[in-house]
Structure 1
Amino acid sequence: MRPLLFAILMLLTASATAAIYKWVDKDGKVHYSDSPIENAQAVEFKSNTENQIKLPPPVVRESAPKEPKQVGDIYQMRITSPSEEETIRDNNGNITIIGSITPDLAKNHVLVLLMDGQVTGAAQLTPVFNLENVDRGEHIFEIRALAQNGKQLASTPPRTVFLHRATINAVPRPTPRGN
């Protein structure tokens, strides 16, 4: 069955290369057709009128070299305390930020704490940061792991914390005395 189908398809493709005919009608218009008409002439095409598309050879690209580990691939980090949007009440403005890091920090890597986008304090090896005399209000904290050259290796998601402090300039109010 397949050889017969193949033979029929080959005959159909051979007939597909039919000639083109040209004729001029009584009004002087030129017409073209693939079927012969009375007074039509077969048109011979020159090789330069045929569409010839030459594609450039395909470019074979070798597999790209492996990229170095991206930011966040080396360590998994998060802030464990205080919790997100926690309100801390401390009149001295003391806040302790505690983070976790997996795996353990390498010897040549350090941690820094960012408060409101600015590095706070010196770099250290432990993910526990004690801050003193922090202004009251909303603060955003982030811990980053850095290489010796300062390249960021990983970071925690930002953590928003609110600090409430009593006002230093508060005017004392008189307390009513009972009779």
Structure 2
Amino acid sequence: MRTFTLIGLLLLSMLAQATVYKWVDKDGKVHYSDEPHANAEVVELKEKTLNQITLPPPQNDSSNNSQVIENMAYQVNITSPEEEATVRDNNGDFEVIATVTPEIKGRYLMVLKLDGQVVGKPQVGGIFKITNIDRGEHTLVVDAMTQNGKVFASSSPRKIFLHQAAMSQTPKKQPKSN
């Protein structure tokens, strides 16, 4: 039984090898098919046809992108909080939002400076979440930089005031009633 099945499969595989026909239509378009057509010629296929494609060497997009960025005049704007805004948060948490104009198609990083000190790591995107900041006056600056760390635009300094509710450490003494 196995022998008949094996022989049957071999015969089917031999029949499955179809002839390929090639022809050109009246519009000059080349067609290929396994069915004969008028003016078609048989295409001889080699047993071991290998397609070899050579790709051009990859270009370093980051250096090219850096050159494009450095040659343009970009501007960083802090959109939130506003100039001399009063931020009220007892934990000292707030959000800074900055944008770059004109819009950059390539990849770049942004970094936030609070009172001249970098806060966190450079990041993609201009939304910064700041936590545990002391109350008082603070200055914000956002820098936009290339992937290799070169600053190509900075925002103007933005002054804000962080207010936190103060509670007395020692409770007031209540008068005793007799």
TM-score computed with the length of structure 2 as normaliser: 0.53
For residue 172 of structure 1, give the secondary structure of its aligned residue in structure 2: coil
1:142 and 2:150 are equivalent in the alignment: no
Q: Distance in 1 between matches of 2:100 and 2:108?
A: 12
Q: Which amino acid aligns with 2:108?
A: H
Q: Distance in 2 between matches of 1:73 and 1:107?
A: 13
Aligned residues: 110
For residue 147 of structure 2, give the secondary structure of its aligned residue in structure 1: coil
Partner of 2:120: 121
Partner of 2:152: 153
Q: 1:172 to 1:120 in 2, by over 3 A?
A: same
Alpha-carbon shift at residue 168 of structure 1 (Å): 6.2
Partner of 1:82: 81
Q: Relative to total residues, which structure has the larger helix share, 1 or 2? A: 2
Structure 1 stretch displaced more, 70-79 or 153-162: 70-79
Q: Which amino acid aligns with 1:114?
A: K
TM-score computed with the length of structure 1 as normaliser: 0.53
Q: 1:159 to 1:153 in 2, by over 3 A?
A: same
Q: Distance in 2 between matches of 1:173 and 1:71?
A: 61
Is the CA contact 1:93–1:133 (under 8 Å) kept in the aligned structure 2? Answer: yes
Alpha-carbon shift at residue 73 of structure 1 (Å): 4.4
Is the CA contact 2:69–2:146 (under 8 Å) kept in the aligned structure 1? Answer: no
Q: 1:174 to 1:121 in 2, by over 3 A?
A: same
Q: Which amino acid aligns with 2:154?
A: S
Q: Distance in 2 between matches of 1:130 and 1:150?
A: 21
Larger Rg: 1
Is the CA contact 1:115–1:142 (under 8 Å) kept in the aligned structure 2? Answer: yes
Partner of 2:91: 92
Q: 1:125 to 1:142 in 2, by over 3 A?
A: same
Backbone CA RMSD of aligned residues: 2.8
Which of structure 1's runs of 4+ aligned residues deviate more than 4 A? 68-73
Q: Distance in 2 between matches of 1:79 and 1:157?
A: 8
Which runs of 5 or more residues in structure 1 are unaligned? 1-67
Which runs of 5 or more residues in structure 2 are unaligned? 1-66
Q: Alignment identity in percent? A: 43
User: CA offsets per residue over residues 106-165 of structure 1, 9 Å max, x none?
Assistant: 544200000001110111111110101111111100100011222110011000011011
Alpha-carbon shift at residue 173 of structure 1 (Å): 3.3
